[in-house]
């Protein structure tokens, strides 16, 4: 492939990773509306149209069915449907069913009863990575840096930077950014996402989060 084709490929990767990051972020009215109107599932189907994986196709179909369910609700009820499940899985106040933080999964041998702990070394490591590539955490942002949505957003940023490097025909930088993405997957997100995804699948009440977790696992690793 030439540089322009590689740039398009990296842009597509950045877009898909951005979708995953949005899906695992706290639900907003705008996101609920995208789901309720079917735009989220439709855009994903277009982005993943070249995939022939039946697991991916099944997950997208599940998202489409969930969108049809939300379409029967007004926008606030649609948002609350998402938020209730999001809070059960990722926020609390009860024990989290699917903690969305890398530190939790990297410290399961240290916590009581095999339970992991938050704010471990992984949080500091990923924050340093973000700063090195120009991603800063807003002061008002309430999540820890090793939250699944932020790690996915970081990979999206690296893919976007790679696309820009290919567009200016800077092969050395583009290849370095590819290496950075692969290393981050191996050392960080890829080391815990499978366990996180299984917790989501086991604990969710809606179709949305299990389908999202399956899609991320099949496309990002």
Amino acid 26: pLDDT: 92
Cα atoms in the Cβ-side hemisphere of radius 13 Å centred on 1: 12
Q: What is the mean pLDDT of residues 78-104?
A: 92
- Residue range 3-220, CATH number: 1.10.3480.10
Amino acid 49: pLDDT: 86
Question: Positive or negative, the Cα torsion across 53, 55, 61, 66?
Answer: negative
Q: Which residues is 118 bridged to in the sheet?
A: none
Give pLDDT tens digits for 163-202. 999 999 999 999 999 999 999 999 999 989 999 999 999 9
Q: What is the mean pLDDT of residues 93-109?
A: 84
Would you give the DSSP letter of residue 52?
-
Tokens read off for 168: 């200016």
Q: Cα–Cα distance between 116 and 167 in angstroms, integer?
A: 43
Q: What is the pTM of this model?
A: 0.91
220 contacts 20 by C-beta, under 8 angstroms: yes
Task: List the chain domain ranges.
Answer: 3-220
Question: Does 65 score more than 50 pLDDT?
Answer: yes
* Local confidence band at 131 (pLDDT 50, 70, 90 cut-offs): confident
């Amino acid at each position: 492939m030439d540089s322009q084709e590689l740039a398009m490929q990296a842009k597509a990767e950045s877009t898909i990773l951005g979708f995953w990051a949005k899906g695992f972020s706290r639900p907003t009215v705008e996101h609920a509306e995208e789901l309720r109107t079917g735009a989220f599932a439709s855009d994903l189907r277009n982005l993943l149209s070249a995939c022939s994986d039946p697991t991916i196709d099944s997950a997208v179909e599940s998202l489409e069915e969930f969108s049809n369910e939300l379409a029967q609700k007004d926008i606030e009820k649609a948002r609350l449907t998402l938020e209730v499940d999001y809070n059960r899985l990722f926020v609390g106040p009860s024990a989290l069913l699917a903690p969305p933080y890398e530190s939790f999964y990297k410290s399961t041998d240290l916590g009581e009863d095999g339970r992991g702990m938050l704010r471990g070394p992984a949080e500091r490591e990923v924050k340093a990575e973000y700063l090195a590539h120009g991603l800063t955490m807003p002061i008002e942002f309430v999540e820890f840096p090793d939250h699944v949505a932020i790690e996915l957003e970081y990979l999206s940023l690296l893919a976007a930077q790679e696309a820009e490097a290919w567009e200016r025909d800077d092969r050395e930088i583009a290849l370095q950014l590819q290496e950075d993405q692969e290393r981050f997957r191996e050392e960080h997100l890829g080391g815990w996402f499978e366990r996180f995804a299984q917790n989501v699948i086991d604990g969710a009440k809606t179709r949305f989060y299990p389908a999202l977790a399956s899609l991320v696992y099949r496309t990002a690793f």
